[in-house]
Chains A and B, each alone.
Chain A
Amino acid sequence: MRHRDRVAMALAREEPDRCPMQISFTPEFADRLRADMVARGLLGTSSGELNVARGGEHNPHGGGNTYELERAIDSDLILTSVGWANNYYAGHGTYTDEWGVTWQEHPYQTRFGTGHYTEMVGFPLAEDSAIDSYVPPDPSRPELYLDSERVIREYGDEYWIVGVTVTTIFETAWALRGYERLLMDLVMNPELADRILEIPFRYHLAAAEKLTSMGVDMIWTGDDIGSQKGMLFAPATWRRFLKPRMAELVRRVKAINPDVKVAYHTDGDVRDVIPELIEIGIDILNPVQPACMDPAELKRNYGDRLLFWGSIDEQKTLPFGTPDDMRAEICRRVATIGAGGGLILGPTHHVQLDTPPENFWAMIDTIRETHYS
């Protein structure tokens, strides 16, 4: 079965041979995985760099990857990303992206070696007046889409191609403004908040439209609007600032291709707004963080109207569980949130460097070997 057919079947609420999957990694985990796969003979020793830029380092959001690892682990989806999220892990030391956001590389230690995160430390719209002279990047530059063209051309026949425009509105906006400041603007200074939110929204809307017209199968959009205890801001705040913009994005990409699927990413417990995500035409919810939302309950309540992508716990099972825990979780997901199709399995975030290889392979092997009846 072609990978793309497996995904299409699942999203049509049919049971393919197995549940489709999508796995992304942090750069250091990708390096470790590659070495492990070479040692085990699963990848040729001649395999090249993991990304065509970035000094060969894997991009968790997909842009520029060679997809050598993704294909070798039997992933069914291939991600190609255009937008601000590509600036995560985009450099070492301190760097400033084209939006004017300053990042700093930040190392951390695990029992499997040293990893690094990149964190935002400088915010170009921190001062209220800065917005008057701010010029955002141009989303219509042809070079932004060359890699997506390559991906669709090389992998589109076999894989389900995802156009990634995540951090669509709120997350890029807070990277421009500062997190606490934008959260307070939403309540105290709504006009300014609107002006700031418009900037990334217009950019990512243009990118999503372009990727859709190029022929991706799915647009992956969204922002983290949930915490583990519920929404970060009031549902009314979401309705005021984010819902109409997201509705416009869904409408515009579906006007270009009515068959394109739209997946919405948000961490956290967002049950307060799930019915409204469905109402504006979101097809798929990602990543379904099981630490705070019960995947089986979501399936029961919304499975006839909403598809799911994710649901593999990355707070306990992947880093701290055993391979048996991992196998049990995968089987439970397939039998509950995955019953009758409607699920793409995946960890709730890029696989982190603290993940033991035996857990990683228990996840991959169980997904591959757990067949729908």
Chain B
Amino acid sequence: MADLAALTAAVEAGNRADAVALTQAAIDDGTEPTEILDAMTTAMTEIGRRFACNDGVYVPEMLISAHAMKAGSELLEPLLVAGGHKPEYTAVIGTVQGDLHDIGKNLVGMMLKGANFAIVDLGTNVSPQAFADATKEHGAAIVGISALLTTTMVGMKDAVAALRAVDPKAKILVGGAPVTDEFAAEIGADGFAKDAATAANVAQELLAAAK
């Protein structure tokens, strides 16, 4: 019998070798791939909660847990694809045009992936058009736009406008050091996340509210 609780613990502890071994063991004894994935998303939800509360999880621990989950997930991917399982939602993420900072955006991507979103990461310095094109192409339900600088965050407004023009339904989430909920509302974004863990929660809340 697969020890999924141990897999959850391994991802939470950021123990990559154990996460891989336990994922493989669970696959080998015929556990449903979606159940194995759930064991890992449970860990990332807990990591997000502890990160948000400064409860022993800081950026390094979050990175390490996300890498452990990634290593386990790579074993699962082919099985999930073969079984016709795919994430319910896709999120397009990127750092706004003119801005090269990516750690916040990367952490958001990891937490969304940990919450079982498919992630299309457009990288940094992403133009409004590129956000719009990718959202249309992938049918993204969530678009996450990041900015670290006061000089670049104003460009989020153009990205929001370009996105609304191609897909009025996609939920747009903004975040990054200078961004506030007032600013998010002012530029017409749907949500604001003050940190990476919150981003995954806000994304899920926005989608639940839209159902």
Contact = CB atoms under 8 A, between A and B. Distances in A.
B60 interface: yes
A232 B151 contact: no
A314 to B, nearest CB: 7
Contact of A108 (B54, B59, B106, B152): B152
B60 A186 contact: yes
Main DSSP-derived SS at the B contact region: loop
Contact of B103 (A179, A186, A230): A179
Contacts of A140: none
B63 A108 contact: no
Contact of A184 (B63, B98, B151, B152): B63
Given A108-B99, A180-B106, A315 B58 contact: no
Contacts of A230: 54, 58
Given A228-B177, A314-B150, A106 B100 contact: yes
A232 B98 contact: no
Contact of A107 (B54, B98, B155, B194): B98
Interface residues on A, range: 20 to 34
Contacts of B14: 187-188
B54 A183 contact: no
Contacts of B152: 108
Main DSSP-derived SS at the A contact region: mixed
A233 B194 contact: no
Contacts, number: 79
Contacts of A184: 60, 63-64, 67
A354 B150 contact: yes
Interface in B1-52: 14, 52
A352 B151 contact: yes
Contact of B60 (A119, A227, A233, A315): A233
B178 interface: yes
A229 interface: yes
A227 B51 CA distance: 12
B64 A188 contact: yes
B155 to A, nearest CB: 8
Interface in A161-220: 179-180, 183-184, 186-188
A230 B106 CA distance: 18
Contacts of A107: 98
A290 interface: no
Nearest to A111: B154
A108 B98 CA distance: 5
Given A108-B149, A115-B151, A353-B151, A315 B177 contact: yes
A319 B150 contact: yes
Interface string B46-90: 000000101010111101100100000000000000000000000
Nearest 7 CB-CB pairs, A to B?
A108-B98, A119-B100, A183-B60, A187-B60, A315-B178, A319-B150, A233-B58
Given A231-B54, A320-B150, 20 more contacts: A109-B155, A110-B154, A115-B151, A119-B100, A180-B63, A180-B106, A184-B60, A184-B63, A187-B61, A227-B177, A227-B195, A229-B54, A229-B195, A231-B58, A233-B58, A234-B61, A291-B177, A316-B178, A352-B149, A352-B150
17 contacts: A106-B125, A108-B98, A115-B151, A119-B100, A180-B63, A180-B103, A183-B60, A187-B64, A227-B59, A228-B194, A229-B54, A229-B194, A234-B58, A234-B60, A315-B177, A319-B151, A354-B151
Interface of B: 14, 52, 54, 56, 58-61, 63-64, 67, 98-101, 103, 106, 125, 149-152, 154-155, 177-178, 180, 194-195
